[in-house]
């Protein structure tokens, strides 16, 4: 399967709808005819389509390919954008992306939640503008967030600009990292990823460490704790709530991990770094 080169694709928005504190979806099952993004600003929801399923919360996009049958249930009152778009290449030509295109379809999670919040704030301000100007402004910030995701992806995988998804890296391990990121904030077993890649757990760990210099578990914990840092500073969530947002079920366990990795308690980190 050829891997999408993230930097070569540009989202072009043609529809945007903002929903505040929605406690339920009108339909449990719906057809996303064009490519559709659910960008969560607050709250959470469960989603599933094709072989993708999970929980999306603040900092997540759920990207649904065209003609996707999406099932979804609100977990916590949901504030979010529904964004419909098409993909083009860098020259503005239509890009033929499909549901099987990796790194794009499914859930993507942002680490720089401060910038994400800032973009959402600017998008909210644009709600007062005319339809044409609102879509133009929203398109700008959606593209900015997409470029941000590309930058975070390259940084996470040690790739230079233009290398994302290229043959410079082991494509199976690049796919593995993408799968870990997509499922990072929900409970799952690493052996599920190994099985999906048709590797034994031991071989998966060996190949992953060769590619990224860390084990899959170390990669996953670091990715989750980076999100925990953002949530500590950007929200007033309790540790139990933060644990649920990053794929754990116990706030005490996350506190122990946090102290082990950063030599500081979550409460001390929050009080020291909050403005």
At 185 the three-state DSSP class reads: coil
Q: Tell me, what's the pLDDT at 204?
A: 95
What CATH number should be reported for the domain whose range is 171-273? 1.10.10.60
C-alpha dihedral, 95 to 97 to 101 to 107, nearest 10°:
100
pLDDT tier at 112 (50, 70, 90 boundaries)?
confident
Strands of the chain (E only): list them: 10-22, 29-32, 35-49, 52-57, 60-64, 68-88, 106-109
pLDDT digits (tens, 9 = 90+) for 23-80: 999 989 999 999 999 999 988 899 999 888 888 888 899 999 999 999 999 988 999 9
Q: Where in the chain is the domain with CATH 1.10.10.60?
A: 171-273
CA-angle at 114, arms to 16 and 71, nearest 5° = 45
Does the pLDDT value for residue 2 go beyond 50? Answer: no
**Is the CB of residue 126 less than 8 Å from the CB of residue 138?**
yes
Q: What is the CA radius of gyration of the chain?
A: 18
> Hey, what are 166's tokens?
């290229």
CA–CA separation, 49 vs 259, rounded Å?
37
Q: Tell me, what's the pLDDT at 166?
A: 46
The CATH architecture of the domain made up of 6-157 is Sandwich (2.60)
**Is the CB of residue 185 less than 8 Å from the CB of residue 192?**
no
pLDDT digits (tens, 9 = 90+) for 121-178: 999 999 989 989 999 999 999 999 999 988 887 776 665 554 444 445 788 888 898 8
Nearest CA to 37 out of 125, 132, 143 is that of: 143
Most confident of 9-13, 172-176, 201-205: 201-205
pLDDT digits (tens, 9 = 90+) for 162-193: 444 444 578 888 889 888 988 888 889 999 99
């Amino acid at each position: 399967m050829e891997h999408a080169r993230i930097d070569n694709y540009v989202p072009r928005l043609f529809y945007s709808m903002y929903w505040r504190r929605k406690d339920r979806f009108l339909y449990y099952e719906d057809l996303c005819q064009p490519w559709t993004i659910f960008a969560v600003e607050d709250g959470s929801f469960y989603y599933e389509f094709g072989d993708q399923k999970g929980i999306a919360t603040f900092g997540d996009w759920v990207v649904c390919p065209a003609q996707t049958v999406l099932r979804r249930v609100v977990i916590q009152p949901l504030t979010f954008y529904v964004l419909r778009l098409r993909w083009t290449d860098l020259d503005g030509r239509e890009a033929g992306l499909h549901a099987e295109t990796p790194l794009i379809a499914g859930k993507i999670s942002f680490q720089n939640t401060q910038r994400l919040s800032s973009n959402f704030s600017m998008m909210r301000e644009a709600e007062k503008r005319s339809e044409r100007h609102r879509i133009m402004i929203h398109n700008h910030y959606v593209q900015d967030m997409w470029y941000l995701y590309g930058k975070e992806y390259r940084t996470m995988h040690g790739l230079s600009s233009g290398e994302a998804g290229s043959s410079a890296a082991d494509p199976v391990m690049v796919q593995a990292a993408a799968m870990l990121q997509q499922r990072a904030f929900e409970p799952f077993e690493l052996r599920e990823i190994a099985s999906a890649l048709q590797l034994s757990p031991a071989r998966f760990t060996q190949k992953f460490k060769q590619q990224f210099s860390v084990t899959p578990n170390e990669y996953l914990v670091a990715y989750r704790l980076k999100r925990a840092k953002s949530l500590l500073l950007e929200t007033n969530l309790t540790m139990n709530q933060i644990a649920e947002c990053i794929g754990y079920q116990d706030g005490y366990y996350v506190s122990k991990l946090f102290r082990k990795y950063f030599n500081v308690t979550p409460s001390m980190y929050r009080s020291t770094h909050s403005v």
